[in-house]
Chains A and B, each alone.
Chain A
């Protein structure tokens, strides 16, 4: 790395100010809710931790744990192979996705006021066009992140917001996703709720359109993010590598954002 090279400039920004590193990740702990499927379907394991030793008779020198959880637990990366529409695409799993795709620009649309009023709030193409009028066009290969402040709900029941007629959490409108792919060439969709689709998206014309279209077009998902309020509408760079799981459909991820300014 030569002095004044691109990477040393980057590190200079990170270490000397000018670039903030923002953690967009939820803490993995046993009470993190996992997505709920009908009880006769297969269920994703919740996050669980069993102590191996803690400087004690089981291992006097070290503290460490065994973990278990589903691939889609906490803040996580959805790979295209996760959905039936993306099952036959090339480079569609956590171990085969080209690694440069784990670094991408982010556009953040603030829907926190609307989501506060209406838990079933859906983000539409019109709303994005209004957002672009103020913040500029979404550049190709960007994440579209939907900020709702939903991750501030620390009570798991309020976060899941489930009723007898299903979950009530905000998400993208079914018309938005194809447009984001065809007209804006986004790399994926991220949000703060437990999944990238709205709570009621199972009832849409195409059920779970964000999963269906994004993964069917080899794009990604990034649900259960936090701290989106710390990002600018445009300009942040996201670091989102999932664990390199063979034929993994996703993985918990430590998602970081690089943001210019102090």
Chain B
């Protein structure tokens, strides 16, 4: 059984906050293939096209037949724990702060033997399930857990160092005036968040979602308008030292493109909310969160951006919206690099059309807010960083990987 997670304690005011360090981050170009798989939550290894041998660690030519066509394929993640050990000393600063640390060798059913981080309740000879997760440096590592989940499995301290589990963490949801805002508040509460802060702007406009959030326990509302630098600065001065997961779900969709609907005001509003809004949040909440990346087992761990799948490929029916989302996506990549120094991970969740009034004219499939919120929680728990939610977003990701020109011509989804 896994030791239950100790509840968060109030901070000792005379003790120095543990400074964030990073686990070793150097990887070969081939090994970054693992990062790509872990980022989207796949368990895939190179598999030789000629002889079928599954490869680990990643390499340029097949270890068996020297074939050089080694595509990444999903493989069976199960195996047997062949050996286990406990590290009591490390020269690496990240592990030095966290010893003892359990490691083991897993003989995979798929063939290779891999060195993996071990969950507390794995014993030599046990059947285990491997997963590929991004660690605090943003690189893929192998984790082994019991094949059948044990009690409190999510409380495992080693895994918690690697994941972004909302349990016992304080969450800021930027916009409580949408159905997604409400769904996120409910999902984080179910996931065991310690406190939930919810922002809301333009108080003269009523919102049923906000009223439903107001009625929830453990949720506090704060005025927040991402288009207003003062407002963002003010809230960061109140909450900056508390927020451990920030979810930027700012959303402003207006149909129209550049030629068919030339409207500078609408386009500027989209940029102001999606791009400058993220920039304002990053500049104010970012430094405080990055400084608290290693502040106990409950430190700051994640920044979630809810983005449109059209950030990756412009949908001309929502042309300027897509462009503003692309700008936000680019900035999110900058944020990811800057926050990495503190071990705070940036999760980009790409959604297809939501089932809301601004997608009234778009045919299904459309996403229910609860589903989007649920997928975000699960991506945090499992340490992913690029999440395609729903059929449209998944299809876009797939077709972009296959042939970007094809989807550019056919996007009228």
Contacts and interface: CB of A to CB of B under 8 A. Distances in A.
Interface SS of chain A: helix, strand, loop or mixed?
Answer: loop
A46 interface: yes
Contacts of A43: 265, 269
Interface in B196-212: 202-206
28 contacts: A29-B230, A31-B223, A31-B228, A31-B231, A33-B202, A33-B204, A36-B204, A36-B205, A40-B254, A42-B263, A42-B266, A43-B269, A45-B265, A46-B228, A48-B227, A48-B228, A49-B230, A50-B229, A155-B203, A156-B203, A156-B204, A157-B204, A159-B204, A160-B204, A161-B204, A162-B205, A162-B206, A163-B206
Interface string B175-216: 000000000000000000000000000111110000000000
Contacts of A46: 227-228
A209 B229 CA distance: 37
Nearest to B223: A31
Interface in A1-56: 29-31, 33, 36, 40, 42-43, 45-46, 48-51
A148 B309 CA distance: 50
Interface size class of A (residues with CB under 8 A): 20 to 34
A56 to B, nearest CB: 15
A164 B229 contact: no
A51 B204 CA distance: 26
Q: Which of B204, B205, B263, B266 has the most chain A CB within a 10 Å cutoff? A: B204
Contacts of B228: 30-31, 46, 48
A127 to B, nearest CB: 28
Interface string B347-370: 000000000000000000000000
A161 B228 CA distance: 22
A158 B108 CA distance: 65
B85 to A, nearest CB: 52
B230 A157 contact: no
Interface string B252-290: 001000000001011001000000000000000000000
Interface SS of chain B: helix, strand, loop or mixed?
Answer: loop
B225 interface: yes
B276 to A, nearest CB: 10
Interface of A: 29-31, 33, 36, 40, 42-43, 45-46, 48-51, 155-157, 159-164
A49 B233 CA distance: 13
A50 B227 CA distance: 11
A42 B263 CA distance: 9
A257 to B, nearest CB: 28
A42 B269 CA distance: 11
A159 to B, nearest CB: 7
Contacts of B203: 155-157
A225 B18 CA distance: 54
Contacts of A48: 227-229
Contacts of B266: 42
Interface string B221-249: 00101011111000000000000000000
Given A42-B266, A43-B269, A45-B265, A30 B205 contact: no
B230 to A, nearest CB: 5
A158 B335 CA distance: 38
Contacts of B263: 42
B229 A162 contact: no
Given A30-B231, A42-B265, 19 more contacts: A30-B228, A31-B223, A31-B231, A36-B204, A40-B254, A42-B263, A43-B265, A48-B227, A48-B229, A49-B230, A50-B229, A157-B203, A157-B204, A159-B204, A160-B204, A161-B204, A162-B204, A162-B206, A163-B206
A46 B263 CA distance: 17
A180 B129 CA distance: 83
A31 B332 CA distance: 28
Contacts of A51: 229
Which 9 pairs of residues, A with B, have the shortest CB-CB distance? A160-B204, A30-B228, A157-B203, A157-B204, A33-B204, A156-B204, A30-B230, A156-B203, A162-B204
Nearest to A161: B204
Given A42-B266, A43-B265, A49-B230, A164 B206 contact: yes
Contacts of A156: 203-204
B229 A49 contact: yes
Contacts of A29: 230
Nearest to B265: A42
A183 to B, nearest CB: 36
A50 B280 CA distance: 11
Nearest to A50: B229
Contacts of B230: 29-30, 49
Contacts of A157: 203-204
B225 A30 contact: yes
